[in-house]
Structure 1
Amino acid sequence: MVEGSMGSGMETSLRYSSHYKNLRIHAKEKFPLDSKTLVQTHGEVEVGSKLPSLLAMSIRRFYPELSASIGVGLQFNSQDKFGYNIRVKKALLLKSNPMLHVNVKGRCNTDKDFKQKKAKSAIELAWSILDFQKDQDVRIKVGYDLLEKAPYFQIRENNWTLNADISGNWNIRFDL
């Protein structure tokens, strides 16, 4: 299972993190190009300053027969300014339990001159629990960032998501 929907429709969320320490409104829109390819746009506004903190666009290609995806894009953010990114993800399905799978993923952000700014490579175990309680789905991820050499986890319940790592970094998201 590779996360991501090919359907279009604006997705909005409220986000707060230990890193930014301010509330942000995030919006994402997906525009299908064909049955396996989409253009994805993101934007984020800091509530206090009312200024954009992120503008991004990427093209993502899904390979359902491989349970994999790849994306390339460009972004502008208030910290690093303009840059490019590439991301890949491969899901390894466990036949013993279709709701349990291993994700292998990587991401690299560069500046406008293609000099690496930030990279992430991780392996994670993801467990989706449908109808944990009536009308409540839960997803639990436990992962290990191979470059930072740090474990992390994610708990998602319907509209709420909490991410945290061993270094004390965390963020919370509420999907509207």
Structure 2
Amino acid sequence: MVGGSMGTGIETSMRYSGQSKTLRIHAKEKLPLDSKTLIQAHGEVETGAGHPRFLAMSIRRFFPEHSASFGVGFEFNSKDKFGYNIRGKRALGLTSNGMLVLNMKGRCDTDKNFNQKNARGAVELAWSILDFQKDQDVRVKLGYDLLGKVPYFQIRENNWTLNADINCNWNVRFDL
């Protein structure tokens, strides 16, 4: 299924980026409404300041017959305050086993008056390697941010994820 599992349970991670140089704790909860729809709530706390960086809620609908998802939501963050977002994703399997996928995704953020703040669109090639080594799964993504015109990559190994782009922006995440 595109966009992750529909399972419940709080997912937590620690995140650090070269730009902010602060350790953040992120938590996400997915609450299924039916077999194809969920409400997702998530937030992040900066450990240095001890205050929430953002809180967000969205409703996401999955279309497994098209390997696609669509979501709308709202966010309150410490920088821009209140706003809305809309996002979509479509995956095209390039191999019969689904281990090589072409993802197309987009997102648009607005302020509380629906004025566009940020738009993103990307195309990425994702290669999943199960049992790369014993008990180690690896996923490699090579992508291109269409609006920012920036190539990027992601390497994920079990609980660790490294993201970086050609402009030397990077972040690392550890899923608890």
TM (norm. structure 2) is 0.98
Gaps of 5+ in 2: none
**1:107-152: CA deviation from partner (whole Å, max 9, x where unpaired):** 0111101111111000000000000000000000000000001100
Q: Matched residues, percent identical?
A: 74
Q: Partner letter of residue 110 of structure 1?
A: T
Structure 2 distance, partners of 1:116, 1:94, is 34
Gaps of 5+ in 1: none
Within a 5 Å distance, the mapping from 1:109-120 to structure 2 comes to: 109-120=109-120
Indicate the SS of the match to 2:56. Answer: strand
Q: Partner letter of residue 22 of structure 1?
A: T
CA drift at 1:97: 5.0
1:53 is aligned to 53
Q: CA RMSD in A?
A: 0.9
Indicate the SS of the match to 1:65. Answer: helix
2:14 is aligned to 14
1:154 maps onto 2:154 in alignment:
yes
Structure 1 distance, partners of 2:30, 2:39, is 6
1:93 is aligned to 93
Which one is further off, 125-134 or 88-97?
88-97
2:121 is aligned to 121
Structure 1 distance, partners of 2:52, 2:165, is 26
CA drift at 1:98: 2.1
1:143 maps onto 2:149 in alignment:
no
2:31 is aligned to 31
Q: Partner letter of residue 43 of structure 2?
A: G
Structure 1 distance, partners of 2:30, 2:142, is 27
2:65 is aligned to 65
Aligned residue pair count = 176
CA drift at 1:165: 0.6
Q: Partner letter of residue 132 of structure 2?
A: F
Structure 2 distance, partners of 1:110, 1:20, is 23
Structure 1 distance, partners of 2:166, 2:95, is 30
**1:71-110: CA deviation from partner (whole Å, max 9, x where unpaired):** 1000011111110001100001113552001000000111
CA drift at 1:20: 1.8
Structure 2 distance, partners of 1:54, 1:29, is 14
